[in-house]
Amino acid sequence: MKYLFLILFFIASPAYGATYYVDAGATGAADGTSWTDAYTAIQTAFNSRDLAPGDFVAVAGGIYNETVTPGPNDAGSAGNNVTLIVKAGDTVLIDGENSRDHAVDIEQVSYFTVDGFSTDNHRHYNMTSNGGTGNVFRNNIINIDLSSGAGGSGTAHHGGIVIQNDTDPLAENNIITTDIGTSSGSQSDGIVMANSSGVTVRNNYIRIENPASAPHVDCVQIWNTNNIWVYGNYCEQPIHASNQQGIYIEGITAVDLGVWRVYNNVLTGKFGERAITLAEKSATAEMRVYNNTILELATSTGVPYHMDGDNVYFQNNVARTNRGSIVAFFSSGTQTTSRINYNIYKNASGDVIQLGGSQYTWGEWQGFGYDASGLNAEPSLDAEGRPDDSGDPVVDAGTSLATFFSTDKDGVSRPQGASWDMGAYEFESGVSPTVSITASGSPN
């Protein structure tokens, strides 16, 4: 048994392969074997050789005016991705110069990681993956340039990361923003995943500012995808437009799309439609929506939560709007009362919930058996959605969901007090939280 354990451990451990080097300022042999002899363009590393599982392509600081397209022979393997990564301590900008569609375009390549790059001035989605397995985008800083020749390739889209037809993709720890003061009538989304399975979107900061009435101006948009994890993200949309959503997940074809898990997210802004939408349409899915915090700002016209499905688990969520409108909309009137509980809702006045085709006051809602332990109160939260003090109504007011996760958005263990807190953050007395995004495993 001892030898079996050692063999299994060896197999499961990642293999670290060769490292090849890229430096725009290098003046050596340009064969990629050292920093002195580095390639001077990123794409040259992929054109010059076939990479093996566990290999790194390390890129030194500078501006690179190119599109990176790894080939079919540059794939990694399960647990041993090929990694394109920025040299530790450096900043690398892949500049589209308002003429190229993508910074990184991964087509039919699997187990490939893009780690630590900055991108700007692209006409379409900055980073893409199509038809791969196990591809990862992490620690990137992406600017969606709304003024840069919108569309590219004839498609009226701008965006940060798009992943299509992939299995087990991951987008984590990315910062995605738009140009301030510009607008575009094209679609402009932070992260898009479509026709995929086993997707994870976690711990990203996404700020979209597009005042145009464009279609699907979303922080995260996922459609026709099964088995979804969306958690720990911060979505901000400070400019009001008519067609904005924070997290939008939709089924299209009549299939079972598994479990959709949306938790520990914070959404703040002036959402024109909805902050979080989960819509089965003709598909079926189990929707688990836990410990999210939505803070709508003035001039919002949307609904904080919209759950369009029959199989909804909705607990420990916070919704605050300063408008006299509903804060949660359950399209289907067929819900299990015990699955919708421990939420806190607050609006300026009037009906609080819509169930099916009718709207209800808080008293009527509880009279149906929903949110028996819920609250209709004003949460005392700071601008980031954190509880201000131990007397906040959300503190110790939730229920344990430890079967599914055990930490808050910052990775703090739940609970910190007698019970779980509602919302994305646990209250920690006397602690000032910090947020950092750093590259992992970068060669020096």
Q: What is the DSSP string of 201-214?
A: EES-EEE----S--
Residues 342 and 241 in one domain: yes
Is residue 2 situated within a structural domain? no
User: What does the pLDDT read at residue 228?
Assistant: 97
User: What does the pLDDT read at residue 359?
Assistant: 92
Instruction: Decide: 312 and 335 in contact? Cβ < 8 Å.
Output: yes
Is residue 206 situated within a structural domain? no
User: What is the domain count for the chain?
Assistant: 2
User: Which of 167, 202, 224 is where one domain is finished?
Assistant: 167
Residues 435 and 304 in one domain: yes
- Main-chain phi, psi angles of 395, to 5 degrees: -75, 130
User: What does the pLDDT read at residue 424?
Assistant: 98
Sheet holding 125-130, edge to edge: 104-107, 125-130, 157-164, 187-194, 217-223, 244-250, 274-279, 303-308, 328-330, 353-355, 358-360
User: What does the pLDDT read at residue 266?
Assistant: 97
* Cα four-point dihedral sign 339, 356, 321, 275: positive
Residues 339 and 402 in one domain: yes
Instruction: Decide: 245 and 215 in contact? Cβ < 8 Å.
Output: no
Residues 250 and 316 in one domain: yes
Residues 236 and 134 in one domain: no
Return the closest-CA partner of residue 176 out of 142, 204, 149. Answer: 142
The CATH number of the domain holding residue 86 is 2.160.20.10
- Where does residue 198 rank: exposed (0-12), middle (13-18), buried (19+ CB within 10 A)? middle
Residues 160 and 221 in one domain: no
Structure tokens belonging to residue 335: 């819900």
Measure the CA–CA gap between 38 and 376, rounded to whole angstroms. 62
Is residue 388 situated within a structural domain? yes
Measure the CA–CA gap between 330 and 306, rounded to whole angstroms. 6
Residues 162 and 297 in one domain: no
What is the chain's pLDDT, residue by residue, as a tens digit (444 residues)? 333 333 333 333 455 799 999 999 999 999 999 999 999 999 999 999 999 999 999 999 999 999 999 999 999 999 999 999 999 999 999 999 989 999 999 999 999 999 999 999 998 899 999 999 999 999 999 998 876 554 444 345 678 999 999 999 999 999 999 875 555 556 788 999 999 999 999 999 999 887 665 556 889 999 999 999 999 999 998 876 667 789 999 998 888 899 999 999 999 988 777 889 999 887 889 999 999 999 876 555 667 888 988 899 999 999 888 766 788 999 887 889 999 999 999 886 778 899 998 999 999 999 999 999 999 998 989 989 999 888 999 999 999 999 999 999 999 999 999 999 999 999 998 665 544 444 444 455
Residues 93 and 228 in one domain: no
Is residue 187 situated within a structural domain? no
User: What does the pLDDT read at residue 10?
Assistant: 33
User: Residue type at 401?
Assistant: L
Residues 304 and 159 in one domain: no
- What's the predicted TM-score (pTM) here? 0.91
Is residue 117 situated within a structural domain? yes
- Other CB atoms within 10 Å distance of the CB of residue 6: 10
Tally DSSP H helices, then E strands, for the chain: 3, 34
Task: Tell me how many degrees the CA angle 182-183-188 measures, rounded to the nearest 5.
Answer: 120
Residues 145 and 293 in one domain: no
Is residue 88 situated within a structural domain? yes
Is residue 5 situated within a structural domain? no
Residues contacting 139, CB < 8 A, separation 6+: 115, 116, 172, 173, 174, 437, 438, 439, 440
- Residue whose token pair is 């003709």: 282
User: Which of 167, 194, 225 is where one domain is finished?
Assistant: 167
Structure tokens belonging to residue 160: 């940060």
Backbone torsion region of residue 223, taken as left when φ is above 0, otherwise alpha when ψ lies between -120 and 50, otherwise beta: beta
Is residue 189 situated within a structural domain? no
User: Which of 127, 147, 167 is where one domain is finished?
Assistant: 167
Residues 151 and 257 in one domain: no
Full domain range(s) for residue 123: 18-167
Q: End-to-end CA distance of the chain, in Å?
A: 39
Structure tokens belonging to residue 154: 């004839």
Instruction: Decide: 204 and 190 in contact? Cβ < 8 Å.
Output: yes
**H/E stretch holding 362:** helix 362-367
Residues 242 and 94 in one domain: no
